[in-house]
């Protein structure tokens, strides 16, 4: 994990701060062999957007793992100590009370190991809002969503499938996003909620994480973006539209409401 941290940091996009952060998450695969796998993550900033739109390296690594289907994340290594925002995001993970955090100071070469619970005493999490299990728990189930039969576009269907896999235990605003790029690639993202609300990630944010982590130093550009959601007391539409106009001005968000 420590050897991979410099590589993870190379994926950072930091036009505002210039402060690059890399993260590596270790998770046990859900296959019968139960082997461990490592997933990279890096921070991503968006110029002309509010700083709250920023994706943190820890979020990126967790999303990178989640979309590839492993089980519980056991350890995360980071090039800089997690900020309070990231500690709250990580606390949403199922079994987070036992999550190990490895800090590696690259200039000094010093490494230290910590328990997330030590970083976040008296934490507020899923159980405080009545949830027995956290994010990425084996008990998290897919949500059955449907669209009108006329919505048989492939990209729309991929966004619908992503919405069904989203994590929205507090609002039930299940949402998914699918984007297509100039190179003909497509990427999907799923909405992730957090008990503290603010560290939640929109489905377009998680789609951008997939696109970034799958294409090192790529200039591939989004040409189409679709959002499918089950609208409740909240909606992902506005935040996705704002972010999309920053990333690719002129590309309009295609919106579908699922049932």
Residues 142, 143, 149, 152: is their CA dihedral positive or negative? negative
CB atoms within 10 A of CB 207: 28
Alpha-carbon gap, residue 181 to 57, rounded angstroms: 23
172: left (phi over 0), alpha (psi -120 to 50) or beta: left
- The total number of residues written for the chain in this structure: 259
Q: Is 254 considered catalytic here? A: no
Q: Which of 35, 45, 58, 241 is catalytic?
A: 58
Query: What kind and span of H or E run contains 224?
Result: strand 222-229
Alpha-carbon gap, residue 132 to 113, rounded angstroms: 28
Alpha-carbon gap, residue 30 to 145, rounded angstroms: 25
Q: In what order do the strands lie in the sheet with 73-78?
A: 36-42, 22-28, 73-78, 100-105, 110-115
Find how far residue 30's CA is from the centre of its chain.
19
List, by residue number, the catalytic residues. 58
């Amino acid at each position: 994990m420590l050897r991979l941290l410099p590589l993870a940091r190379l994926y950072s996009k930091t036009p505002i701060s210039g402060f690059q952060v890399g993260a590596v998450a270790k998770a046990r695969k859900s296959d019968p062999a139960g082997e461990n796998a490592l997933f990279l993550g890096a921070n991503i900033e968006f110029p002309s957007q509010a700083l709250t739109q920023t994706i943190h390296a820890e979020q990126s690594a967790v999303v990178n793992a989640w979309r590839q289907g492993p089980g519980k994340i056991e350890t995360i290594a980071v090039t800089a100590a997690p900020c309070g925002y990231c500690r709250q995001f990580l606390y949403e993970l199922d079994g987070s009370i036992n999550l190990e955090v490895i800090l590696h100071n690259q200039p000094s070469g010093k490494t230290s190991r910590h328990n997330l619970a030590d970083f976040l005493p008296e934490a507020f999490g899923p159980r405080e809002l009545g949830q027995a299990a956290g994010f990425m728990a084996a008990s998290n189930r897919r949500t059955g969503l449907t669209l009108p039969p006329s919505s048989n576009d492939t990209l729309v269907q991929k966004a619908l499938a992503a919405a069904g896999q989203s994590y929205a235990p507090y609002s039930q605003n299940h949402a998914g996003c699918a984007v297509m790029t100039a190179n003909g690639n497509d990427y999907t993202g799923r909405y992730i909620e957090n008990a503290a609300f603010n560290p939640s990630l929109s489905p377009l944010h998680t789609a951008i994480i997939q696109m970034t982590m799958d294409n090192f130093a790529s200039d591939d550009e989004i040409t189409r973006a679709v959002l499918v959601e089950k609208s409740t007391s909240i909606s992902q539409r506005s935040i996705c539209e704002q972010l999309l106009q920053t990333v690719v001005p002129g590309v309009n968000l295609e919106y579908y409401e699922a049932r």
